[in-house]
Amino acid sequence: MEFLEPLNLLYCLIGVVIGMLIGVLPGLGPAATIAILLPVTYGVEPVSAIILLAGIFYGAQYGGTITSVLLKLPGEASSVVTVFDGHALARQGKAGTALGIAAIGSFIGGTVSIVGLTLLAPVVAAVALDFGPPEYAALALFGVLLVATVGNGGRTKAVIAAGLGLLLATVGRDTFTGASRFTFDTLNLADGIDFVPIAMGLFGLGEILYNLEQRHRTAAPPAAVANVWPSRADLRKSGGAIGRGSVIGFALGVLPGGGATLSSLVAYAVEKRRAKHPGRFGQGAVEGVAAPETANNAAATSSFIPLLTLGIPANATMALLFGALLIHGIPPGPQLITDHPDLFWGVVNSMYVGNVLLLIMSIPMVGLFVKILRVRPAVLAPITVLITLIGVYTVANQVFDIFLVVAFGVLGYLMKKFGFEPGPLVLAFVLGSLLETAVRQSLLLFDGNPAGFLTRPISGTVLAVLLLVLLLPAFGKLRRRKP
């Protein structure tokens, strides 16, 4: 019961508070924060250090929801899907509903995932070992297909936006050949384009520019902000979405690469597909907030499974935690549970406490967060721009990123003006690099033969499901045409 020691509880509290604050500040993110604070943990006991750093990671998932809902600024790729219905609810005066549902879903998703981590960690980690480049390629391709179903724009426009996102993912130095692609002979693009300038520009600056133009045309008063807590009807609607999001998040969060992003996208697509009236999604459906928020928090917790049981980091933040364990002389892997049970169970049990602390902090502050929407647009817009530019600059301390934000802000404005949703572009961009790398690695394994994807059970099954999803609309049309 080492995690119940007052010092470890204090480190857990400090971690989740820092994480929540970092989540509210778009751009910085948990990975950069952990990198900055890593030297601070050198003189701290290993259990306390990992509890602190883990708290920052899953605490940031809570904080990122706030700016996604209130300001339409997703700080992480996994928060992009929340923007669609979360911000729509905020514009209808239901920001409290969105934030309340997100807090409850995050708590339940995180808790379910911790229980799964406690009971199933070695088993799930062993299954994850069966995933290689072909399986990731199939999953990424499936994710790109799902991108066309999110947002409230037309299917054709979503596909065009996703295509542009895939194109942007190719910018930079080719990791296989070293050749430069679409860099225009500038070193600033040699390593590709980061997610943050694209998301901040398209969602943040683009939205502000569009709203300024609309305000000059029609002076519509902002919706009154009344409720600061979801109703019983909202909770009933969200119950199934939270349950399904927990399972999806736990299962997909274990996978390296786009685990949290893919799980939020899949959870959203599942709810939209199951809904009797899918047209509500993108217009302010509470299930559209509950599902992705539950899924990405469940995924954030389950991503600890491959790290602690196999020594395989599932994402950039887990890679930093991997380094933190090595710094303290603890090699992550199959022997961690037996050789260092105090650390393993201390970190796992601290997550239960951390989730409760986040729920306790989030719920009373919903009303305070909602008050942000009462600030006059003339004041809120410049503040949002300032937060956006500071957040982007702090990622890499490059002025070039600020120019990128402005460029993508103009693109976001034009997309909004002509009825294109920025969400599919951003999500396809995130999945694009994973897709390209996995496909090319797979073709090397198969000596250039694409049929190799069908010979492996997991990738073959995923591609079969993908084909079925693509053909279902055509079968439906043929059935309707029959007399």
Task: Provide the pLDDT for residue 390.
Answer: 80
Q: Does residue 379 or residue 442 have the better pLDDT? A: 442
Task: Provide the pLDDT for residue 290.
Answer: 92
Domain extent for 110? 6-217+230-481
Q: Confirm whether 1 is domain-assigned.
A: no
User: In sequence order, what are the beta bridge partners of 173?
Assistant: 180
Q: Confirm whether 359 is domain-assigned.
A: yes
433 by DSSP, 3-state: which?
helix
Q: Confirm whether 123 is domain-assigned.
A: yes
Eight-state DSSP code of residue 180: E
Dmax over CA atoms of the chain, in Å, equals 77
Task: Provide the pLDDT for residue 220.
Answer: 45
The H-or-E segment that residue 351 falls in is: helix 341-370
| Residue 117 pLDDT greater than 60, yes or no | yes
Buried-exposed string 36-67: b where 16+ CB fall within 10 A, e elsewhere: ebbeebeebbbbbbbbbbbbbbbbbbbbbbbb
**134, 322 Cβ separation under 8 angstroms:** no
The H-or-E segment that residue 181 falls in is: strand 180-181
Q: What is the pLDDT of residues 160-213, one digit of tens each?
A: 888 898 899 899 888 788 888 888 888 888 888 887 788 888 877 887 888 777
Residue in 346, 144, 165 with CA at minimum distance from that of residue 265:
144
Q: Read off φ and ψ for residue 172, nearest 5 degrees.
A: 120, -170
Q: What is the pLDDT of residues 201-245, one digit of tens each?
A: 887 788 788 877 766 555 444 445 556 677 888 888 888 999 999
Band of residue 481 on the pLDDT scale cut at 50, 70, 90: low
Report helix, strand and coil shares of the chain as percent, to nearest 5.
Answer: 75, 0, 20
Task: Provide the pLDDT for residue 320.
Answer: 81
| Distance from C-alpha of 110 to C-alpha of 347, rounded to nearest angstrom | 14
Output the pTM of the full model.
Answer: 0.76
Eight-state DSSP code of residue 170: T
Give Cβ neighbours of residue 274 (< 8 Å, ≥ 6 apart): none
Q: Read off φ and ψ for residue 414, nearest 5 degrees.
A: -65, -40
Q: Confirm whether 223 is domain-assigned.
A: no
Q: Confirm whether 225 is domain-assigned.
A: no
Q: Confirm whether 222 is domain-assigned.
A: no
| Residue given tokens 């090397």 in the structure block | 444
Number of separate domains in the chain:
1
**48, 14 Cβ separation under 8 angstroms:** no
The H-or-E segment that residue 158 falls in is: helix 155-168
Which amino acid belongs to residue 337? I
Q: Cα–Cα–Cα angle for 51, 44, 312, nearest 5°?
A: 50
Q: What is the mean pLDDT of residues 468-472?
A: 76
Residue 309 CB: number of other CB atoms within 10 A? 24
**350, 55 Cβ separation under 8 angstroms:** yes
**140, 325 Cβ separation under 8 angstroms:** no
Cβ burial, residue 93 (10 Å; 0-12/13-18/19+): middle
Q: Confirm whether 363 is domain-assigned.
A: yes
**49, 41 Cβ separation under 8 angstroms:** yes
311 by DSSP, 3-state: which?
coil
For the chain, what's the residue count? Answer: 483
Band of residue 50 on the pLDDT scale cut at 50, 70, 90: confident
Q: Confirm whether 174 is domain-assigned.
A: yes
Task: Provide the pLDDT for residue 214.
Answer: 66
The number of angstroms, rounded, from the C-alpha of 251 to the middle of its chain's C-alpha atoms is: 15
The H-or-E segment that residue 173 falls in is: strand 172-173
Q: Please report the beta strands in 282-424, taking only residues with DSSP state E, as ranges in sequence order.
A: none
Token duo for residue 121: 């960690």
Q: What is the mean pLDDT of residues 237-266?
A: 83
Q: What is the pLDDT of residues 80-107, one digit of tens each?
A: 888 888 888 888 888 888 888 988 998 9
